[in-house]
Each structure stands twice: as structure tokens, then as C-alpha cells.
Amino acid sequence: MKRSVKLDIFEQHDHVTYYSFTYSDEESCAFDLFLDAWDDDDHKEDIDIILSWIDKMGLKGADDGMFRPEIGDLKALPIDTSILRLYCFKVTEGIVILGNGAEKTTRTFNEDPTLNAHAMNILSIGRILRSLIKNGTVSANNNELFGLKKITFEAI
Amino acid sequence: MKKNSRLEKRRTEISDDVKLFVNKSFEIVEQISGFLNERGLTQKDLAKMLGKEESEISRWLSGTHNFTLKTIAKLEIALKSPLVCCKKQPIREYNIFISNPSVQFVMKGIEGNSQKTPSSYMSGVYISGSATTLDPKLFN
């Protein structure tokens, strides 16, 4: 199914600008949907860790080592303390897209349809963005994306 | 710089222990990476030294790994460097002068841990510095 998303700046930090994306048929961006779903009493510590880590990374830059590795530039937070996964796409060391996520209860994310959709959709969005940067349609300067309108992709 | 109002509000609710945990995790990982760089070692070398899979070491060095003391001890031995240091409080000697009777003796206390002594024991006693505990028997 083809879906379109709009990417917007979620927050700017000294060394990283965090973006998130909003589907054309939804009102909240993916990261807000993640917080809506998981920022509750049972997951307070996980969300505390994720937010602290976002702040830490914002100060240092989005080094590969600061994420849980998934597939290429598809990354996840938090690292090793929880089964909650927030999927991210690292565009550059200064630009990170925050997506949606869920608890990982299966061995791989592919085995869980919800988790798989969150992971693969942000990966598709990130890959298209990467190709738009490569062909010059979008530029990534000073931790910001320019020339970006919307991205349409084959969503899961 | 654009800030998100929802996150700004949520940040105020982050517990201090999580902030400290994330900072400490980050510091430990930076130290390990630094020692590896200094010695020209790779994650693969460290994995070999510890008898672990490289993927496990990579996960350890990815950030918020909850290191146990046992793991830290193994890492310290492998890297031949301390990763976590417990700061010892310096022991200082204090001279206590008692005006009546005129006796002088020395007590040991821990710097920065002063404790108030009941005033009944303090009359006519002048203490230079502070002590963790003062034994009332000393003043009888």
C-alpha cells in the first residue's frame, strides 16, 4: 500500500537535529505516537532512558556506537536495558529520524507484524531520503534538511 | 534551536538515577573505547581476550548496557586499566584542645563528614576541624 509522509523537525540539539514523520492520513508524528503508546507507568524508566539518551546523543553527535544496530542505518533505542524498541534512521551524524516502536517479544523484529511495520517503514523512508540527498533533490546542511517535501513509499 | 514542548515537560520527570545511569554508561563506554584506541586494539581483539562473541562486545559498547561488577572486573583485567574507581575519603588528623583540664589528644575524622557534638560535651572544648564522631567518654 502506497503511503505518504511529511518529515518535520521534532527537536534541535547542539549536534543533532531530530526529525519525525507524519503519515498523510494521521495527525501525530511517529515519535509522538510512540510516546502516546508507551509513556506510561510500566515503561517510565524505559522512556526516561530513551529521552536521556536522545539528549546525550544531541550533545555528542549520532555516532553509530550510540544506537542498537539493526539493519544498516536503521537503528534502535534503548540499547540493552529493555525490550522496548524505538526505531530510528541515522541520515548523518547530525540528522536522525525518530520513528515509532513497540516491545520486542520475538527473537527478531520481522516475526512481529507491528514491530516489522515500524522498522521496515522507517527504513524505506530513510532509504528514499538518502536517494533524494544523493540525487540533489534534498540537501543536508548544518544538521538540517532542505528541499524536502513529502516522501511516498510502499508501506507495510 | 527548536525544542518540543512535550519533551521539555517530560524531561522534568526523568528520574535522577536514570540520568546518572545514562551518564555513567556513556563514560564507561568512552573509557573502554579510549583504552582500545590507545592500545591499537579492536572490538574483535577484546572479544577474543574475554572469550566472547564480537557482537556481544559491540552491544556492550553501544551505550546503555547494564554492566555488572563482574563484567567490569573482567574488562579491567583485559584492558589492564581501571574503569570504575571508588573514591576513598581522605583521613585527616584533628587536634582537639581541651581548656580545662588542659589535655591535648588527636582524633581521626573523615573530611567533609562533620557531625555536631552535643553542646554539653562541648563546653570549654575547642575543636580545630571536624570529625565524624566524637566519643563522649573523651570529655568525661
**Residue B61 confidence class, pLDDT cut points 50, 70, 90:** confident
* CB contact at 8 A, A150 and A24: yes
Give the pTM. Answer: 0.76
Q: Does position B84 have pLDDT exceeding 50, yes or no?
A: yes
Q: Does position B116 have pLDDT exceeding 60, yes or no?
A: no
In degrees, to the nearest 5, what angle opens at C-alpha A107 toward C-alphas A103 and A109? 55
Q: What percent of chain B lies above the pLDDT cut of 90? A: 26
Query: Domains of chain B, with CATH numbers?
Result: 5-79 (1.10.260.40), 91-139 (no CATH)
CB pairs < 8 Å spanning A and B? 77
Enumerate the domain spans of chain A. Answer: 2-154
Min Cα distance B127 → chain A (Å) is 46
- Which residue type, as a one-letter code, is found at position A17? T
Phi, psi of A68 (to 5 degrees): -85, 120
A 69-88 → B contacts, CB under 8 A: 69, 78-81
A127/A73 Cα distance (integer angstroms): 9
Q: How many CB atoms lie within 10 A of CB A32?
A: 19
* CB contact at 8 A, A93 and A59: no
